[in-house]
Amino acid sequence: MTHVYHTPVLVDEVIDFLHIQPDGVYVDGTLGDGGHAENILEKMSSNGKLIGFDVDAEALNVAMKRLARFGHQAVFVHDNYVNIDKYLEKFAVRRINGLLLDLGVSSHQLDEAARGFSFQKDERLDMRMNQKQSLDGWAVVNTYQQEQLADIFWKYGEEHHARKVAKHIVEERKRHPIDTTGQLVRCVESAIPKRFMQKSLARIFQGIRIEVNNELENLRTVLKKSLEVLANGGRIVVLSYHSLEDRIVKDFFRGKARSTIAAGSNLLPDQPTTPMLRILTKKPATPNAKEIKQNPRARSAKLRAAERVME
């Protein structure tokens, strides 16, 4: 059976901002089924290389088949992008020409993985992108204290009914474990008004998923490491799908694009440090109406890009 690949989001903009060097080395930190990676590799010569990371073994296997025609140019890593520096050292790559991060949950994980990422399906409460890790959605929902749950729903989901939902979950699990997404949905439905339901469910599920996969902390870590691995003129392109991710990327880019004096530095006020990034997207790039019609999940995407600058 022929595999139907999902459409990569903002692919033309990704390629433009990465400014592909034919003989360069690029890292796709969120390989998925390889859509963006395929477009990057098509712009490269036989001397170029793409290193693709993904914690999801199923997605990685799909990408490996899709990109097999590129042979040695495509290198696959079953690990989280936070370990980018370790693998570049292992592959004897000192600096890279570009880094792509397409954040959040993939269409494959929502549609096919049966891991409880979507509140529109009744599946086991899993939500792990990496099936080897121990913490899953079931453990969060069934073992976290009420205050912890409320904090997750507010901090990671920006859910205004966080405390009320957390209270209902704790009361419900006293009667029986909450094993499936369907059970969780019914629990949330009993806690909040119907008019808020769809958005609240999306936020609750987002909060649990971010907690399980440590998504925001991983993002902060890889952004810092990008400064160590990008060559002068190297590009970083990040696709985010909710305000928490976008805010982290925006603030990081702005902070590293300014001339600042580090805390505790011996530099005088008239001796600022050199900016480390040049922002390429004054405002984030977003999908046009045509792309949204063809791929509705692209609707919330925001692309930010920056270029590494050195003295």
pLDDT tens by residue, 211-260? 999 999 999 999 999 999 999 999 999 999 999 999 999 999 999 998 65
| Amino acid at position 277, single letter | L
Confidence at residue 292, expressed as pLDDT on a 0 to 100 scale: 95
More reliable by pLDDT, 107 or 100: 100
Q: Order across the sheet with 74-77: list the strands.
A: 74-77, 49-53, 25-28, 96-102, 230-240, 302-308, 277-279
- What's the structural domain count of the chain? 2
The answer to whether residue 3 sits within a structural domain is no
% residues pLDDT > 90 (the chain): 80
Instruction: List CB contacts of 137: < 8 A, sequence separation 6 or more.
Output: 116, 125, 126, 127, 128, 208, 209, 212
pLDDT digits (tens, 9 = 90+) for 204-221: 999 999 999 999 999 999
HEC profile for 280-309? CCCCCECCCHHHHHHCHHHCCCEEEEEEEC
Across 9-18, 72-81, 121-130, least confident range:
121-130
The answer to whether residue 6 sits within a structural domain is no
Reply yes or no on whether the pLDDT at 265 is more than 70. Answer: no
The answer to whether residues 139 and 166 belong to one domain is: yes
The answer to whether residues 194 and 49 belong to one domain is: no
The answer to whether residues 227 and 165 belong to one domain is: no
The answer to whether residues 39 and 80 belong to one domain is: yes
Around Cβ 69, how many Cβ atoms within 10 Å? 10
Confidence at residue 1, expressed as pLDDT on a 0 to 100 scale: 46
Confidence at residue 51, expressed as pLDDT on a 0 to 100 scale: 99
Reply yes or no on whether the pLDDT at 93 is more than 90. Answer: yes
Confidence class of residue 262 from pLDDT cuts 50, 70 and 90?
A: very low
Instruction: List CB contacts of 34: < 8 A, sequence separation 6 or more.
Output: 5, 52, 62, 63, 66, 67
Domain end residue (candidates: 151, 178, 213): 213
Confidence at residue 214, expressed as pLDDT on a 0 to 100 scale: 96
More reliable by pLDDT, 311 or 135: 135
Reply yes or no on whether the pLDDT at 19 is more than 80. Answer: yes
Confidence at residue 35, expressed as pLDDT on a 0 to 100 scale: 95
The answer to whether residues 201 and 227 belong to one domain is: no
Reply yes or no on whether the pLDDT at 269 is more than 70. Answer: no
The answer to whether residues 20 and 104 belong to one domain is: yes
Query: Do the beta carbons of residue 117 and residue 109 sit within 8 Å?
Result: yes
- Helix axis angle, 215-229 to 243-257, nearest 10°: 30
Query: Do the beta carbons of residue 200 and residue 165 sit within 8 Å?
Result: yes
Confidence at residue 275, expressed as pLDDT on a 0 to 100 scale: 94
User: Closest Cα to residue 11, out of 303, 306, 307, 233?
Assistant: 303
The label of the residue with tokens 């990685």 reads 60
Which CATH number is 144's domain given? 1.10.150.170
User: Closest Cα to residue 238, out of 34, 38, 102?
Assistant: 102
Domain end residue (candidates: 165, 187, 213): 213
Confidence at residue 104, expressed as pLDDT on a 0 to 100 scale: 76
Confidence class of residue 105 from pLDDT cuts 50, 70 and 90?
A: confident
HEC profile for 220-263? HHHHHHHHHHEEEEEEEEEEECCHHHHHHHHHHHHHHHCCCCCC
The distance of Cα 13 from the centroid of its chain, to the nearest Å, equals 17
Reply yes or no on whether the pLDDT at 139 is more than 90. Answer: yes
The SS3 assignment for 277 reads strand
Confidence at residue 111, expressed as pLDDT on a 0 to 100 scale: 60
Average pLDDT, the chain: 91
Confidence class of residue 110 from pLDDT cuts 50, 70 and 90?
A: low
Across 165-169, 232-236, 273-277, 304-308, least confident range:
273-277
The answer to whether residues 220 and 243 belong to one domain is: yes
As a whole number, mean pLDDT of residues 264-274 equals: 56
Reply yes or no on whether the pLDDT at 148 is more than 60. Answer: yes
What is the distance between the alpha carbons of residues 123 and 54, in angstroms, rounded to a whole number?
A: 23
pLDDT digits (tens, 9 = 90+) for 177-197: 999 999 999 999 999 988 889
The SS3 assignment for 27 reads strand
> The pTM is what?
0.91
What is the distance between the alpha carbons of residues 65 and 253, in angstroms, rounded to a whole number?
A: 35
The answer to whether residues 203 and 69 belong to one domain is: no
Give me the domain span that covers residue 226.
Answer: 11-108+215-308
Which CATH number is 293's domain given? 3.40.50.150
